[in-house]
Structure 1
Amino acid sequence: MQTKIGVVLLSGGLDSTVALWWAKKKGGYGEVHTLTFFYGSREERITRKVCEILAALSKVERQIFLELPWLGEFSIRSGATLVEGGDTPPKVSISMLEDKKIMKNASRSVWIPARNLCFVSIAASYAESIGGEAEIITGFNKEEAETFPDNSPIFIERMNALLEVSTIKAKVALRSPLIHLDKRGICALAKSLGVPVEYSNSCYDPAGITKNGEPIHCGLCESCARRKRAFLEAVGSDPTIYAHK
């Protein structure tokens, strides 16, 4: 009898890393595979190394990297600051995170055109090619859903409705175990699952990676600000290395 497969969309970020550990320890999957996409984002300087380390530590059964150059081209055309060739991502401090106007503008700046729609669709194609039953696992969460609609419960609900009528050779569903958690809750869950969070990368524009494989975060972008706040408030300390404190 074929076992259920968990297909984790692994960016190497905190959210997808915790989702990966959840899949391995709590998901009940016979196998866990990871998919990582490359489309020219600034963080790709270290993404492959980060994801290789995380996949090895979590002992996934299969790791796949996919190049999507066309998505990078679309992103540059749309003015996304998240990709190489675009403007620098806006600087955001912890104190700015509660300013809805600033956060709305910041999210629009880094927005990649229909990214999660593309990622889930490709993951569904991969899952269907395996056959049987599979769940696509993402790090979508409550906090990012406030500014990114493709991280929201309604996105998950509608994607699952779409998956029912877009796959016929396998039973494929989208699952987001962090959807009711903010970043603080995710950090707390990471601690309970024993996630080696020091190897995850949240930064939009990382400065590099240490010899030990720990990402060096810029410390200036929105994602770094959210990471700092979450660790300090949830567990009292932040294991992250920052180029700028």
Structure 2
Amino acid sequence: MLKTAAPRHAVLIFSGGLDSAVTAYKLRDEGVTLSLLSFNYGQRHVKELAQAAVLADRLGVVHDIVDLTSLSRLLTGSALTDPAIEVPHGHYRAETMRSTVVPNRNAIMLEISAGAAVASGADAVAFGAHSGDHAIYPDCRPEFFTLIEATIKSGNEGQIVPDFQLVAPFLERTKADIVREGARLGVPFELTWSCYEGGEVHCGACGTCVERREAFTEAAVADPTIYAPAPEGATR
């Protein structure tokens, strides 16, 4: 679960966002062979997949997009998949961001990625979750990763490589830590996508945009993100 030794070949869940991009650059820097796996689950911010493709091309690694759009009619009740539910704005807090939870999303993505890892002989599945997600998303917590890693190993006994591991290098670190690491590695932050609104540019007001802004500020790293202008009279 928490990375011990660098894997040889990792299937990385790759959204095109800041966290997964830095994770990709970090693993590549450690000499890990990468296979990037993105998911279209009917998210309103599907623009992230275009950015994932651009980043994969920049990295020069294999990239596949899994079509899960047929699941969107089942994964209801989330602002990310239901256009009738507004994306919450403001700080990234549990009481406001709870509406962005997509039921069982990370478990679905991790299990599919595990299947791809077993099929290709990869010894790891990697994921860019960080400590700021813990309060809101139960499937981003250390205990969840411990359990699902054990499930993956048990469910693929005899097929999975003996030293398989679930790699989450930022699970106990903050978003600001991720930005600092990305700056060290030369990650092209301007190519990453965080905004849940999915417009032409980052809205600057949704929870993920606010979190992104604050992370760059806390890390003392220049933020190259283009944000939409705030409405007249609004403050950010």
> C-alpha deviations, 1:138-197, integer Å up to 9, x for none?
101111122211111111111111122011312242110111211111110101111111
How many angstroms apart in 2 are the aligned matches of 1:236 and 1:139?
20
Match of 1:57 in 2: 58
Match of 2:16 in 1: 12
Match of 2:214 in 1: 229
Give the 3 Å change call, closer, same or farther, for CA 236–16 of structure 1 in structure 2: closer
Does residue 189 in structure 1 map to residue 181 in structure 2? Answer: yes
How many angstroms apart in 2 are the aligned matches of 1:49 and 1:160?
29
* Local SS of the residue matching 1:117: helix
Match of 2:112 in 1: 122
Does residue 239 in structure 1 map to residue 231 in structure 2? Answer: no
- Tell me how far 1:70 sits from its aligned partner: 3.4
How many angstroms apart in 1 are the aligned matches of 2:28 and 2:212?
23
How many angstroms apart in 2 are the aligned matches of 1:48 and 1:104?
26
How many angstroms apart in 2 are the aligned matches of 1:83 and 1:207?
15
Percent sequence identity over matched residues?
A: 29
User: 1:42·1:82 contact (CA, 8 Å) conserved in 2?
Assistant: yes
User: 1:12·1:201 contact (CA, 8 Å) conserved in 2?
Assistant: yes
Match of 2:131 in 1: 142
**Number of equivalences:** 221
Gaps of 5+ in 1: 98-102, 209-215
Considering only aligned residues, what root-mean-square deviation do their CA atoms show, in Å?
1.6
User: Of Structure 1 and Structure 2, which has the larger fraction of its residues in helix?
Assistant: 1
Q: Normalising by the residue count of structure 1, what TM-score does the alignment of the two structures yield?
A: 0.85
Gaps of 5+ in 2: 1-6, 231-236
Query: Which of 147, 155, 162 in structure 1 is aligned with 2:151?
Result: 162
Match of 1:207 in 2: 199
User: 2:45·2:199 contact (CA, 8 Å) conserved in 1?
Assistant: no
Which structure 2 residues correspond to residues 14-53 of structure 1 after superposition, within 5 A?
Answer: 14-26=18-30, 28-29=31-32, 31-44=33-46, 46-53=47-54
Q: Normalising by the residue count of structure 2, what TM-score does the alignment of the two structures yield?
A: 0.88
Query: Which of 74, 97, 108 in structure 2 is aligned with 1:107?
Result: 97
